[in-house]
Chain A
Amino acid sequence: MKLAYRNNIFNVTLIVFALVILFFLSVPILKMFVGVGSDKLMDAIKDGEVISSILLTMKVSMWAMVFVIITGLPLAYLIARYDFFGKSFLEAMIDIPIMIPHTAAGIALLSTFGDTGLGDFFKFFGIEFVGTEYGIMIAMMFLSAPFLINAAKDGFRKVDPKLENVARTLGANPFRVFFAISIPNARKDIVNGALMMWSRGLGEFGAVIILVYHPMTTPVLIFDRFSSYGLSYSAPVAAVIIGFSALVFLIIRFIVNRFD
């Protein structure tokens, strides 16, 4: 629907308020690219430490996302399809990481998976969470998994259970129904949730820095350069990670929309 009455005072009011929020959302991003200057931007792109931190951040955030796709989709499906004792409590528990300060989440993760019995248990299998990629992954996962789980839950709720019933009568067992009917018909929400989780993971700082300072993810590197050398050294790194993230985001969106 087009804005039919351009002089309508209501529409003008809407546009004015929309422009205010768009200003605050877009100008800092644009300023990042314009203010940094192309020389510094190119230097940052050529900087091996910057590139390896960006690749590390993207890779680990992706692994966190894959882990939650494998384990979180069944959880989202259970919540969407069945009523059971403690369901509301479970849903609230999934949402808690969204609400707590990220540094507090980092402390919670460190006291659970750091130098503890549980930490030693994982160490036995060669998985250590302090100062490793596993630590980055668990921090990203802890704080951004709710975005994927909640989106998938909404997606599964939109899939008519009758589709699954019919598929059963046509010979598909529950696993096949899940993969052939439930997931494909909830894919829009799942993909949106996955992208949201992945991009949210890219920006995770508070929890990551408590568990893992080295190897440095990009947010930690930006903080490190800002605190050691100031704004002019950290801004190009920030601009590069924003550019990379936006590029990957657009490519995935393009692919998803093409196959829809």
Chain B
Amino acid sequence: MSYLSIKHLSNSVAGFSLKDIDLDIEKGEYFVLLGQSGAGKTRLLEAIAGLYKSSGTIFYKKDEISKKNPEHRDIGFVYQDFALFPNMNVEENIVFAGRYREVEKKEEHFRDIVDFLDLQNLLERSISDLSGGEKQRIAIARAIYAKPKILLLDEPLSAIDPTFRNSIMKKLKEIHRRYDLTTIHVTHNFREASYLADKIAIIMDGSIEQIGSPDEVLNHPKTIEIAKFLGFKNIFSTALLDQEEKVNYFSIDPNLIHVVKAESNNCFDYSFKGNIEECMGITDHFKLFVNVNENQFFIKIPKRDYENCLSGVNNFITIGFNEKDIAYL
């Protein structure tokens, strides 16, 4: 049995339902739950923590924790807005769990967390005058002070200044290893997911749609909806490639589609004649929208290679790409 095993977890609150969620998470795994806003990510974390009444079972090793109250599940929770207690200062927030739980080697553990997260100068401060990054470190410190079996992070980077996101992502990985945690991290950002995750699950409309390694999920989405969510562009039927025997779809990166300048240079595996519908100049590149038999291709071409967005050519151009660059869905 997995370290954390969730079977047929469902609930329905305020018109939104989690539907038959099955997840298996191994010890020490950094598990990322990826989905759009409103997909049910936070609801799922709250259900795992026991904050919503749900059907189904949750096993921690062989212990069924789904019948336990949140205070007995040993699950740490860090909310998106950190939910620090305004009636306590930073230190009181961090050691809150110590009032209600036996924390082994309290003092030593506290010192270690404070040093590692660089909180020494903040301990006496009120939480009302802290930056987003400071609040985040305190919320994480408060959760790990309780020595949870599993740490749940609800969009922990969304309230952080983008400048600091990369360093904080690195820190999250360090925290995960240093405190021997099993982490479930919720996000809508697939770049964040690809950096952090050992395993990714895609959640859409309250259901888990795909689970796998980052490479598997991010590069080989199972459905068009997942592909669109992951930012895949140019999704077309394989019929366009004359592969009619397989009713399927493919996607091609806008950067890997080329404009064929002269037919003599057309060395691409697939090429199509199309009509330029729109050309938008964006800083260092043009965004080109080309209609090929009622399929609109989106292409990015560098400004340095093309002057005036192909205004010299008539509206019809040839575009091409190679088989190796195609992602089949």
Inter-subunit contact B97/A168 (CB<8 Å): no
Q: State whether the Cβ of A86 lies closer than 8 Å to any Cβ in chain B.
A: no
Q: Is A8 an interface residue (CB 8 A)?
A: no
| Residue contact B46 to A171, C-beta cutoff 8 Å | no
Taking residues whose C-beta sits less than 8 angstroms from the other chain, chain B's interface range is 20 to 34
Chain A residues with Cβ under 8 A from B51's Cβ?
165, 168-169
Q: Is the CB of A160 within 8 A of B83?
A: yes
- Contact residue among B49, B71, B79, B86 (Cβ-Cβ distance under 8 Å from A171): B71
Chain B's nearest CB lies how many Å from the CB of A39?
Answer: 49
B77 pairs with A169, CB closer than 8 A? yes
Query: Given A170-B142, A171-B100, does the pair A165, B86 have CB atoms closer than 8 Å?
Result: no
A: residues with CB less than 8 A from B are: 160, 162-163, 165-173, 176, 180-181, 184-185, 187
From the candidates A169, A176, A185, A187, name the one contacting B49 in the complex (CB within 8 A): A169
Chain A residues near B79: list those with CB within 8 A: 162, 165-166
A contact residues around B73 at 8 Å (CB): 169
Given known A-B contacts A171-B101, A181-B87, A166 and B77 have beta carbons under 8 A apart: yes
1/0 per position for B96-110, CB-CB distance to A under 8 A? 110111000000000
Known: A160-B83, A165-B49, A184-B87. A170 touches B69 (CB 8 A): no
What residues of chain A lie closer than 8 Å to B71, measured between beta carbons? 168-173
If A162-B79, A162-B81 touch, whether A170 touches B101 (CB-CB below 8 Å) is yes
Pick the contact of A170 from B86, B87, B97 — CB < 8 Å? B97
CB-CB under 8 A from A187, the residues of chain B are 87
Q: A185 vs B79: C-alpha distance in the bound complex, in angstroms?
A: 18
A15 to B271, CA, bound (A): 77
- Establish whether residues B85 and A168, one from each chain, have CB atoms under 8 Å apart when the complex forms: no
A165 touches B81 (CB 8 A): no
Pairs across A and B, CB under 8 Å, 15 listed: A160-B83, A163-B83, A165-B49, A165-B83, A166-B85, A168-B70, A168-B71, A169-B76, A169-B77, A169-B143, A170-B100, A170-B143, A170-B146, A173-B69, A173-B71
